[in-house]
């Protein structure tokens, strides 16, 4: 499988409107992929629509759009639109997301996440061919939906997957798996679940900085906000970090945020956040690749002495 080298867009230090110049530069730097995110900033599709015009030739992917915050037909329409803008270059990444995003922020029930993801995947695979869909799934029913303009080539669909059941679904029914917040060593365990042929994509948070203490302090806030989410807590239990992260979870559950942050060991921070000078960071990213990651999607984070713009340039595969 051809080695990919991805970048997260837009960038952490600027709006989408101010991202054009650097996005236009990415293909010449050697980046093969641009992947969006969708949490509480930009939506998952608009940055890719703009990037399809700003950076022709690169692959575009969503990592990820939740399956519960849009109806199945709307997801199909959005995917068809991107597939038309970037023929054979758009990859639709979908996933169950989390109770906070789905229920607390979007006022939608977060129920049966595995089944909802599976059902949405099966619907999209059918709908994106242009076929009329009338189907009763376990978690929803669609009656008579047909895309007005189906893409000439349906986009690939990849699944956000953290543990064996979803990873197996990604390998068996989708075109790849997306994972997150893992170490290079963890890649081997994930790869074992999906086999050698399934594309594995992961967003890697990178801080180009040699100020280790400062990086760790900032990273603990990011880690605490993710690793206390039930799905990520279960993921790291499966990866073998259950005991070392137990003090974090206990302090967080008690509402003691300060103690929770202090409870995250340095070795966990260093395992899950890529940091150091640019050469050290690139070498670390290559460790992920050597262990079975096909598509590293870099997410340079601010806080170091190197600007995001410079970090993006320094971390390029041709750097």
Question: Do residues 270 and 244 make contact, with C-beta atoms less than 8 angstroms apart?
Answer: no
Q: Which residues, other chains included, contact 124 with Cβ-Cβ below 8 Å and sequence gap of 6+? A: 72, 75, 76, 79, 92, 94, 157
Which residue carries 């376990």 as its tokens?
A: 138
The per-residue pLDDT for 1 is: 44
- Residue 303: per-residue pLDDT: 80
CA distances in angstroms from 69 to 4, 102, 233, listed in the order given: 29, 6, 23
Do β-strands 176-180 and 199-208 pair in parallel, antiparallel, or remain unpaired?
parallel
Distance CA 75, CA 117 (A): 12
Cα separation, 47 vs 106, in Å, equals 21
Q: pTM of this prediction?
A: 0.96
pLDDT at residue number 3 = 84
Q: Which long-range contacts (CB under 8 A, 24 or more apart) does 254-262 make?
A: 257/224, 260/224, 260/228, 261/220, 261/221, 261/224, 262/220
Give the model's pLDDT for residue 65.
98
Confidence at residue 101, expressed as pLDDT on a 0 to 100 scale: 95
Give pLDDT tens digits along the chain (319 positions).
Answer: 458 999 999 999 999 999 999 999 999 999 999 999 999 999 999 999 999 999 999 999 999 999 999 999 999 999 999 999 999 999 999 999 999 999 999 999 999 999 999 999 999 999 999 999 999 999 999 999 999 999 999 999 999 999 999 999 999 999 999 999 999 999 999 999 999 999 999 999 999 999 999 999 999 999 999 999 999 999 999 999 999 999 999 999 999 999 999 999 999 999 999 999 999 999 999 999 999 999 999 999 988 789 999 999 999 996 4
State the Cα–Cα distance between residues 161 and 179, nearest whole angstrom.
6
């Amino acid at each position: 499988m051809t080695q990919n080298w991805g970048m997260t867009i837009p960038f952490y230090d600027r709006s989408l409107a101010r991202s054009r110049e650097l996005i236009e530069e990415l293909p010449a730097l050697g980046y093969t992929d641009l992947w969006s995110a969708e949490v509480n900033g930009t939506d998952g599709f608009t940055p890719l629509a703009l990037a399809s015009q700003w950076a022709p030739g690169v692959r575009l992917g969503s990592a990820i759009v939740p399956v519960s915050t849009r109806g199945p037909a709307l997801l199909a329409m959005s995917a068809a639109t991107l597939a038309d803008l970037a023929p054979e270059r758009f990859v639709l990444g979908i996933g169950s997301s989390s109770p906070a995003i789905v229920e607390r922020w979007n006022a939608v029930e977060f129920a049966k996440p595995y089944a909802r993801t599976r059902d949405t995947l099966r619907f999209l695979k059918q709908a994106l061919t242009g076929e009329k869909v009338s189907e009763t799934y376990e978690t929803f029913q669609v009656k008579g939906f047909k895309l007005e303009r189906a893409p000439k080539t349906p986009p690939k669909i990849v699944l956000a997957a953290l543990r064996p059941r979803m990873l197996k679904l990604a390998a068996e029914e989708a075109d790849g798996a997306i994972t997150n917040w893992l170490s290079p060593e963890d890649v081997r365990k994930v790869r074992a679940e999906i086999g050698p042929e399934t594309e594995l994509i992961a967003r890697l948070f990178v801080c180009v900085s040699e100020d280790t203490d400062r990086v760790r302090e900032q990273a603990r806030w990011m880690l605490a906000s993710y690793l206390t989410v039930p799905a990520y807590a279960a993921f790291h239990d499966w990866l073998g970090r259950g005991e070392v992260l137990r003090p974090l979870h206990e302090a967080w559950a008690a509402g003691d945020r300060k103690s929770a942050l202090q409870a995250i060991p340095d070795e966990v921070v260093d395992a899950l956040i890529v940091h150091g000078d640019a050469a050290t960071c690139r070498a670390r990213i290559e460790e992920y690749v050597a262990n079975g990651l096909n598509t590293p999607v870099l997410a340079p984070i601010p806080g170091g002495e190197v600007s995001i713009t410079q970090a993006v340039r320094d971390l390029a595969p041709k750097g």
